[in-house]
Every structure is written in C-alpha cells, then in structure tokens.
C-alpha cells in the first residue's frame, strides 16, 4: 500500500488498518529526512607521497591529541601505505580513523607490489581513497579499474572514498557534469542502492588540486547538487540524502568554512593542508 503522510482530514476517515501503515510511512519519511539533515561532516587528509616515517608519526600523534577520543565531525588520515601501520598505532584510541590511498582488487596472492583489502583491514583501515585524479591521469586508471576496486573494498567491509572531477579543459568545454556523471556511474557499476549509500564521494576538480586555485563555494555547490540529483535518479531519494559528498582541491583553513557551509558539501578531502597539525585542525574546526 502506497500512502503519503496522513493529513488530519484523512485521519478522521481512516480505520486502524489504514491508519497504522500511514503512521509508519510518516515515521519513515521523517526518519530519512532526519538522516539527510544529520549527514555528519567528514574531513579526510590525503597525505599522498609525502613525509618520512617520523614525520608521519608526529603528525598523526599531534592530530590524535588535538581531536581526542570524540569529535563532532568524522576525521580520517590517509598516509602512504608503508606508514599505515605506525600511523594506526599513533591514532589508536583517538577519534581519528585510518584510510589507505589505493588498493588492488584481487585478494591475497601473486600480485607483486600490490596491497590487498585484507592487508588494509589487518592494519586498521576503515577507508580507501579510490579513483583519485592522480591515479586516473598519471597512472592510467580507468572507470573499470576503479569499479573493480570499489566492489572489492565494499566486499571487504571497508568504505570507499570515490574521487571524481573534471580537468580545466573539460570544464572550459562545458563537460563538467558529463565527466563527473560518467566517472560516478562507471566507478559504481553493479552496486546495490544500499551499497551506493555507503560510498563517500569526493568531488575534486583537477584544476584545483595542488594549484592554490580553489573552486568557489558556488562552483563546488553546483557540482555537488548535480551529483546528488544524479544519485537520486540512479538510485532513489533516500540514497541521495545519505551519501556524503566531500569537496577536494586547495582546501585551507581560511576557505574551509565557506565551502563547508554549502548545503551539499559534507566534508573535505584535503591534500597539502593535511600535512600540518594546525592547518588540518583549522579545517576540522571550520566544519
Ligand atoms: P590539495 O588540497 O593539495 O589541493 O589536494 C587535494 C587532493 O588531491 C586531495 O585528495
């Protein structure tokens, strides 16, 4: 039985059998509306190929101390894989979670030089960044490659942070929406609605990464809102209201608050400014 939230006039005419499903729908409607309003902000640091072991531990320990054991926003750091283990120890007991920057889609086996999802879980990862533009553009990863990784990561019980974003050339050619849609759809092929709801998406315009050129809050919000509509049309309104969409590209303490106040920007994926405790904390505090 399909039933909109009851109005007072309708209530007067409904019997109990009709009334209960209506009330249930009403509660479900408000429950999901509440989730939409309560999307927790998520600030993640992508350390890329930076820092030594000692610097990684010092940064992680400094963040763990400042963030403490509870935080009103979700926080994660994604160090180079060789430092995952020592960073895991440094953030242990704090509200700072651990993420990897990549993974191979197959399980343990003969894949020289790669890492499996089991290994990432074993060292304490919760998140895995996938499809970052540096991997798409420098290392030649396709949507199909990213899709295999997304499926493996979900299967392992880890959360993908799926990166999408256009180059400057694509933006200037008016292709931003198409590129972002193609990357999102291609990377999430074969996912159920429930699985898609758990994927964190990071919109990272390539022209804003490491360039100091940040997308304006309006430019970022436009793409985030488009993405949310795409998610709604591909899955449903409930999924669209649950998915957290981070912005990434030259996020700094002084531009974070304005970006993060946009209705469809649910956090940030931070590169350069995640390498110093004060800078990263400035972004967390702005969320
Ligand atoms: P920057 O913050 O250095 O521009 O990097 C963004 C990024 O690529 C995060 O994944």
pLDDT tens digits for 62-107? 999 999 999 999 999 999 999 999 999 999 999 999 999 999 999 9
> Which residue's CA is the nearest one to ligand 1's atom 2?
271
Q: What is the percentage of the chain residues whose pLDDT exceeds 90?
A: 85
Q: Tell me how far apart the alpha carbons of residues 151 and 139 are, in angstroms, rounded to a whole number.
A: 20
pLDDT tens digits for range 26-39:
444 444 444 445 79
Question: Which of 58, 101, 146, 88 lies closest to 248, judged by CA?
Answer: 101
**Nearest atom (ligand 1) to Cα of 251:** 2
| 128, 203, 251, best to mutate for ligand 1 pocket (most atoms within 8 Å of CB) | 251
pLDDT the model gives residue 47: 98
Compute the distance from residue 106 Cα to the ligand 1 centre, in Å. Answer: 27
From the candidates 105, 132, 224, 279, give the one annotated as an active-site residue: 132
Q: Tell me how far apart the alpha carbons of residues 38 and 176 are, in angstroms, rounded to a whole number.
A: 28
Q: What does the block give as tokens for 231?
A: 């998610």
3-class secondary structure, 186: helix
**Nearest atom (ligand 1) to Cα of 250:** 4
| 129, 163, 250, 283, best to mutate for ligand 1 pocket (most atoms within 8 Å of CB) | 250
Query: Is 258 an annotated catalytic residue?
Result: no
**Taking 80 as the threshold, does the pLDDT of residue 15 lie above it?**
no
Overall average pLDDT of the 156-173 stretch? 97
Query: 39-286 adopts what CATH topology?
Result: TIM Barrel (3.20.20)
Give the residue extent of every domain in the chain. Answer: 1-38, 39-286
How far are the Cα atoms of 148, 253, 261, 270 from residue 267, in angstroms, in the given order?
Answer: 25, 13, 9, 10
Query: Is 204 an annotated catalytic residue?
Result: yes
DSSP code at position 168: H
pLDDT tens digits for range 113-153:
999 999 999 999 999 999 999 999 999 999 999 999 999 99
From the candidates 134, 204, 221, 238, give the one annotated as an active-site residue: 204
**Taking 70 as the threshold, does the pLDDT of residue 56 lie above it?**
yes
Q: Which residues line ligand 1 (CB under 6 A)?
A: 46, 132, 204, 209-210, 248-251, 269-273
> Which residue's CA is the nearest one to ligand 1's atom 7?
271
pLDDT tens digits for range 216-257:
999 999 999 999 999 999 999 999 999 999 999 999 999 999
pLDDT the model gives residue 37: 53
């Amino acid at each position: 039985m399909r039933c909109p939230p009851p109005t007072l006039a309708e209530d007067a005419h409904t019997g109990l059998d009709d009334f209960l499903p209506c009330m249930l729908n009403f509660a479900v409607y408000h429950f999901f509306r509440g989730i939409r309003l309560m999307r927790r902000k998520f600030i993640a640091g992508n350390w890329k190929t930076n820092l030594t072991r000692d610097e990684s531990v010092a940064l992680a320990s400094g963040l763990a101390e400042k963030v403490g054991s509870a935080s009103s926003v979700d926080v994660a750091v994604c160090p180079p894989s060789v430092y995952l283990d020592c960073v895991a120890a440094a953030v242990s007991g704090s509200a700072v979670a651990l993420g990897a920057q990549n993974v191979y889609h197959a399980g343990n086996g003969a894949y020289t030089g790669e890492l499996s999802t089991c290994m990432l879980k074993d060292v304490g990862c919760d998140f895995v960044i996938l499809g970052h533009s540096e991997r798409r553009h420098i290392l030649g990863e396709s949507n199909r490659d990213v899709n295999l990784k997304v499926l493996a990561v979900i299967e392992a019980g880890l959360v993908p942070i799926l990166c999408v974003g256009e180059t400057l050339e694509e933006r200037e050619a008016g292709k931003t929406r198409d590129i972002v849609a193609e990357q999102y759809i291609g990377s999430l092929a074969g996912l159920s609605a429930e699985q898609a709801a758990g994927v964190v998406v990071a919109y990272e315009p390539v022209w804003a990464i490491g360039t100091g050129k940040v997308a304006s809050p309006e430019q970022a919000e436009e793409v985030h809102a488009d993405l949310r509509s795409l998610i709604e049309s591909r899955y449903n309104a409930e999924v669209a209201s649950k998915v957290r969409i981070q912005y990434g590209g030259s996020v700094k303490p002084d531009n974070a608050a304005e970006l993060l106040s946009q209705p469809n920007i649910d956090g940030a994926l931070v590169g350069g400014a995640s390498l110093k405790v004060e800078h990263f904390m400035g972004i967390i505090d702005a969320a």
